[in-house]
Structure 1
């Protein structure tokens, strides 16, 4: 692995035990492998959250740029009148 850097991490005993059991059970070859996969998953989730936030900000901006809004009560009054006319 090019560019490998050794780090020391601290975690609660319960997580350390789960990590050891996972490796002992044969799911992973080493604790480092488990931690690397967890970090890759975390990075993917973090990137997805950032993209979602950017999309939300863009949608809010588009809404604000689309012109003035209407008071909600005005909209609901119009809808009530339409449905009352159909009934």
Structure 2
């Protein structure tokens, strides 16, 4: 297995020590490998979510339905809510 030397902040070093002292991990290598596995899982999850989002965007584009002035509708909705709650902004 390859060996690497890394620099940790004092907080990260203390965290690694806490994990070892808790008995969850036998040594610093196990702690860091668990952290890297978690990071890899997050990256994979985010990749799947991004693919789904891109597919949804493409499906919307492919549908040919055009939403005109979405921002204008959002602003109007916010303005109506502001008027109902008495929080209208005078310009």
Is TM (by shorter chain) over 0.5?
yes
The structure with more radius of gyration:
1
Residue 55 (str. 1) matches residue 49 (str. 2): no
Give the TM-score taking structure 2 as reference length.
0.70
Paired residue total: 71
SS of the residue corresponding to residue 5 of structure 2 reads: coil
2:4 to 1, 4, 7: 7
Distance 1:70 1:23 in 2: 55
The structure 1 segments of at least 4 consecutive aligned residues displaced by more than 4 Å after TM superposition are none
Structure 2 unaligned segments of length 5 or more: list them: 74-91
1:72 deviation in Å? Answer: 5.4
Give the TM-score taking structure 1 as reference length.
0.73
Instruction: Say what the alpha-carbon RMSD is for the aligned residues.
Output: 1.7
Superimposed CA distance per residue, residues 7-55 of structure 1 (whole angstroms, 9 cap, x where no aligned partner):
1111110110111122123221011001101100110110000110011
